[in-house]
Amino acid sequence: METAFLHTPLGIAKIEGDTHGISSISILDEAPERSSDIPEELEDAVYQLKEYFEGSRQEFDLELNPQGTEFQRKVWEALRTIPFGQQISYLDLSKRLGDVKAIRAVAAANGKNPIWIVIPCHRVLGSNGDLVGYAGGLHRKKWLLNHESPAKQVSLFPN
């Protein structure tokens, strides 16, 4: 398994994978002391994530290899169909998967998504539109949704 780190506006992205694909992208507050070399197997992922944060990429074209149960992988695949700049609710996602009663299981699988941003679990909201259930922190979810919004929110007050 190879590892690379990428500085992003939200922290350090830790990218893991091999010749079979990307198995994990997670967000860290600090990068461990590691080489800054990017393994060949991860170069495309690093490049595409940079483009995403620069605002020039809306879709990812990467070989993914997330590890999870059959149900989790089914949910993660459904997440990949949510278009850039759009959001759906957990209930809508459950409906897409064919079982409204599976909403809790769908939410749990969403929370175990191992591939940050590329599998866009940040695009799933509570039924009332609330920002809920984001492992990377709600401040990051809010930032990502704003980043993908066609109408960027601006603050009237400087930080």
- Which residues are known to be catalytic? 121
Three-state SS annotation for the chain: CEEEEEEECCEEEEEEEECCEEEEEEEECCCCCCCCCCCHHHHHHHHHHHHHHHCCCCCCCCCECCCCCHHHHHHHHHHCCCCCCCCEEHHHHHHHCCCHHHHHHHHHHHHCCCECCCCCHHHEECCCCCCCCCCCCHHHHHHHHHHHCCCCCCCCCCC
In this predicted structure, the answer to whether residue 157 has a pLDDT above a threshold of 70 is no
What band does 152 get if pLDDT is binned at 50, 70 and 90? low
Enter the CATH code of domain 70-148: 1.10.10.10
Share above pLDDT 70 across residues of the chain, in percent, rounded to a whole number: 93
Enter the CATH code of domain 2-54: 3.30.160
What band does 134 get if pLDDT is binned at 50, 70 and 90? confident
Fold match flag (2-54 vs 70-148): no
Going from N- to C-terminal start, the domains of the chain cover 2-54, 70-148
In this predicted structure, the answer to whether residue 153 has a pLDDT above a threshold of 60 is no
Quick one: pLDDT at residue 137? 86
Whose structure tokens read 């992988």?
A: 73
Average pLDDT estimate for 22-51:
90
